[in-house]
Amino acid sequence: MNEDNSYTEELPPENRLNELSAQEWLRFTKTWFVHNPPPRKKDELLHPAKYPEKMVEEFIKFFTKTGAVVLDPFLGTGSTLVACYNTKRNGIGIELQKKYVQIARERIKRLDAQFQLAQEGAKQYCKQIVVRGDSSKINELWKEYNLPKIDFIITSPPYGPMLNKKGLVTREREEQGLDLKYSKDENDLGNACSYEEFLSRLVDIFVKIKPLLKEGAYLAVVLQNYMDKGNYITLAWDFAKEMSKHYQLRGERLWLQDNKTLYPYGYKYSFVPNVHHHYCLIFKHDKN
């Protein structure tokens, strides 16, 4: 109210996090969503655990603004960098295995070529960097490549011992000659000797990343619980508990898939779930 008792319309506060409308913001805060990825392309089939670019784009657009720096410390075949390219963010992806590094770089090259054809003479509007290296040595990689501070992290880490399971999906991939594991490299988290070792090494990587992440910035880590030898392994929950010692846990979004094949696990004798959801765990780099 002004001194003359008249009212003036107050301007809404600046959106400090993203460039979304109020409606878009509210939709994203719902704690579950359904996303059914399209069929994989030929080069993407090779990777045993690719996640969809369109879904990644939604997270990037909520937690950053145009021109921000996004990191994926477990890049795989480059889905996060494709999402960064499509949303005009700068992306940095770290991948240990040469074959996946090559696929990721080829995908970015194809996007560059398409963009140049669509807008003749236009310059690339964002930079995508594929780093071949071990994320457990991220501080050395950051110095070597002279990389900037990070605005947001989104990744789907390897699921460790889960990859060693045998099942119907594994047999299907084996019959098609596709990768069942990421590699045989002992530095690969997917080859950790035990669940406990895998979880410890995974959390340790995010502890090392923390000094490179801007204060107040967010992380989204996509994980899944799974069955193993009759036991339900709570990977997402265990990771969230351990990570909460180093970052502020802000919540979760459940990624649901309703078009996956239902397999008759345990039919006629035992309950065995068809796990068709992932936990997108949201953390924040607070002052502590």
- 3-state SS record for 103-167: HHHHHHHHHHHHHHHHCCCCCCCCCEEEEECCHHHHHHHHHHHCCCCEEEEEECCCCHHHHHCCC
What is the mean predicted confidence (pLDDT) over 72-97?
95
Q: What is the pLDDT of residue 165?
A: 57
Task: With respect to residue 10, please indicate whether it lies within any of the assigned structural domains.
Answer: no
Number of domains in the chain: 1
Q: What is the pLDDT of residue 122?
A: 43
Please check the confidence at residue 240 and state whether its pLDDT lies above 80: yes
Give the orientation angle of helix 79-86 with respect to helix 53-63, to 10 degrees: 60
* Domain that residue 173 falls in: 22-284
Please check the confidence at residue 1 and state whether its pLDDT lies above 90: no
What is the mean predicted confidence (pLDDT) over 41-62?
76
Task: With respect to residue 15, please indicate whether it lies within any of the assigned structural domains.
Answer: no
Task: With respect to residue 176, please indicate whether it lies within any of the assigned structural domains.
Answer: yes
User: 3-class SS at 57?
Assistant: helix
pTM assigned to the model: 0.85
pLDDT-wise least confident of 44-53, 98-107, 189-198, 270-279: 44-53
Question: What is the amino acid identity at position 194?
Answer: S
Task: With respect to residue 249, please indicate whether it lies within any of the assigned structural domains.
Answer: yes
CATH at residue 87? 3.40.50.150
User: 3-class SS at 102?
Assistant: helix
Residue 12 makes CB contacts below 8 A (sequence gap 6+) with none
Higher confidence at residue 30 or residue 117? 30
Task: With respect to residue 1, please indicate whether it lies within any of the assigned structural domains.
Answer: no
Rounded to whole angstroms, the Cα distance separating 272 from 270 reads 6
List for the chain the helix, strand, coil content (%; round to 5).
Answer: 35, 20, 45
Task: With respect to residue 11, please indicate whether it lies within any of the assigned structural domains.
Answer: no
Task: With respect to residue 9, please indicate whether it lies within any of the assigned structural domains.
Answer: no
For residue range 129-169, list pLDDT tens digits in order. 999 999 999 999 999 999 999 999 999 998 756 655 555 44
Task: With respect to residue 82, please indicate whether it lies within any of the assigned structural domains.
Answer: yes
Where residue 173 falls among pLDDT bands split at 50, 70, 90? very low
